[in-house]
């Protein structure tokens, strides 16, 4: 069975972009593979962040993952900082990571541009990501297209480490593959850029029916539909993309037809979408509410997840330390 690893930052709000683009697929993958899913708090601190809410955002993200259906009996769900081997392997992998490759990462360049002082952690972000995956010798990494460059670097790091340290001793890092999601990318409600909590253009996965409708009403559609009688093009409409995530196929066809013929106005289309979203999301919201009422139970589940992850991580680290020639005794 292939091993799968993926991570999500503790933004504090799981939104429908995360759900359709990633997390919904994780729920499927847990039935097919040996899966680890991680709330990557150590990645979240590479940019300026609110210290006082990090722990709360982390637990809320875990609650979200369980509410959408990740099952701790099937997948290992845990918090990155609870398994200190992530940081340790990150350091060791730094020694085989070419600085030039890090400086070339487009995400780094984007994020660095928005900062006056650039922390080294931001540059090393992809090395920590490589450590996340290689620590479990995972081979499949479900990610969006924006992570492909990080995946390529991860493979390069694995190759370089293997070339320098594997020494025919029977231990190597496999080169992980990206598992690209086939879902079309959901844009924010502005229809301009990707959906993101920090941009305030999201529909939260656990928003109430009223909020969902309030947010959908003014959301961007095909800009060519200026008046009610203008026909639209569903292929370029973000609302139609969301329909593809929440509405059954016959509804999607009906929506597309009524858009192209101006049979419906955008608000008619959005009302149908709201109803389908609410039908899908209500049970998830209720599960999240139940979990929020039992924070101790969620913490225990995360602790158990970390213990399982850590057992795997320790096995890798014993071999990695040995291959790199470090003096034994760390396990004591």
User: How many CB atoms within 10 Å of residue 259?
Assistant: 26
Q: Give min distance, CB of 205 to ligand TRP, in A.
A: 16
CA distance 290 to 274: 23
**Segment contacting ligand TRP (CB under 6 A): 57-65, 87-95, 139-147, 187-195?**
139-147
List all residues 6 or more positions away from 201 whose beta carbon is below 8 Å from its beta carbon: 187, 188, 189, 190, 192, 193, 195
Nearest to 132 by CA among 10, 45, 5: 5
Asked whether position 90 contacts ligand TRP by CB under 6 A, the answer is no
Please answer whether residues 323 and 166 qualify as being in contact, where contact means their C-beta atoms are separated by less than 8 angstroms: yes
Among 3, 4, 6, 204, binds ligand TRP (CB under 6 A): 6
Asked whether position 132 contacts ligand TRP by CB under 6 A, the answer is yes
Task: Find the binding residues for ligand TRP in span 224-243 (CB under 6 A).
Answer: none
Q: Give min distance, CB of 141 to ligand TRP, in A.
A: 5
CB-based closest residue to ligand TRP = 7
CA distance 143 to 236: 23
Catalytic residue check, 109: no
Pick the catalytic residue: 109, 184, 194, 229? 194
Task: Find the binding residues for ligand TRP in span 147-166 (CB under 6 A).
Answer: 147
Checking 102-111 for CB contacts under 8 A at 24+ apart, the result is 102/126, 102/127, 102/153, 105/149, 105/150, 105/153, 106/149, 107/146, 107/149, 107/150, 111/47
Catalytic residue check, 229: no
Q: Give min distance, CB of 157 to ligand TRP, in A.
A: 13
Q: Give min distance, CB of 144 to ligand TRP, in A.
A: 7
The two structure tokens encoding residue 308: 């399982």
Among 30, 46, 97, 129, binds ligand TRP (CB under 6 A): 129
**Segment contacting ligand TRP (CB under 6 A): 58-66, 128-136, 186-194, 264-272?**
128-136
Q: Give min distance, CB of 93 to ligand TRP, in A.
A: 13
Catalytic residue check, 308: no
Asked whether position 306 contacts ligand TRP by CB under 6 A, the answer is no
Asked whether position 247 contacts ligand TRP by CB under 6 A, the answer is no
Task: Find the binding residues for ligand TRP in span 35-54 (CB under 6 A).
Answer: 40, 43
Q: How far is CA 38 from CA 82, 138, 203, in A?
A: 10, 13, 23
CA distance 204 to 191: 16
Please answer whether residues 198 and 277 qualify as being in contact, where contact means their C-beta atoms are separated by less than 8 angstroms: no
Q: Which residues belong to the active site?
A: 111, 194, 197
Binding site for ligand TRP (CB under 6 A): 5-7, 9, 40, 43, 129, 132-133, 141, 143, 147
């Amino acid at each position: 069975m292939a091993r799968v690893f993926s991570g999500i930052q503790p933004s504090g709000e799981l939104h429908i972009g995360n759900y359709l683009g990633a997390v919904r697929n994780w729920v499927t993958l847990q039935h097919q593979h040996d899966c680890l899913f991680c709330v990557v708090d150590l990645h979240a601190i590479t940019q300026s962040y609110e210290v006082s809410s990090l722990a709360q955002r982390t637990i809320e993200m875990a609650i979200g993952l369980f509410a959408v259906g990740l099952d701790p009996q099937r997948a290992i769900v845990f918090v990155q900082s609870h398994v200190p081997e992530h940081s340790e392997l990150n350091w060791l992998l730094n020694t085989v990571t070419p600085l030039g490759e890090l400086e070339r990462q487009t995400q780094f360049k984007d994020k660095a541009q928005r900062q006056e002082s650039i922390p080294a952690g931001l540059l090393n972000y992809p090395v920590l990501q490589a450590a996340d995956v290689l620590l479990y010798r995972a081979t499949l990494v479900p990610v969006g297209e924006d992570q492909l460059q990080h995946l390529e670097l991860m493979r390069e790091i694995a190759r370089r480490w293997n070339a320098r340290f594997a020494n025919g001793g029977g231990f190597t890092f496999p080169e992980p593959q990206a598992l690209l999601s086939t879902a079309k990318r959901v844009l924010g409600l502005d229809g301009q850029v990707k959906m993101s909590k920090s941009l305030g253009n999201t529909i939260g996965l656990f928003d109430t029916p009223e909020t969902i409708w309030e947010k959908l009403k003014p959301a961007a559609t095909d800009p060519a539909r200026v008046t009610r009688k203008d026909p639209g093009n569903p292929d370029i409409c973000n609302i139609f993309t969301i329909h593809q995530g929440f509405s059954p196929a016959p509804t999607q066809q009906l929506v597309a037809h009524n858009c192209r013929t101006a049979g419906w106005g955008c608000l008619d289309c959005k009302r149908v979408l709201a109803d389908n979203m609410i039908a899908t999301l209500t049970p998830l919201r209720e599960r999240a509410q139940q979990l929020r009422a039992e924070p101790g139970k969620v913490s225990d589940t995360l602790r158990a997840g970390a213990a399982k992850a850590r057992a795997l991580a320790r096995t890798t680290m014993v071999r990695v330390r040995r291959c790199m020639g470090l003096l034994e005794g760390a396990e004591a």
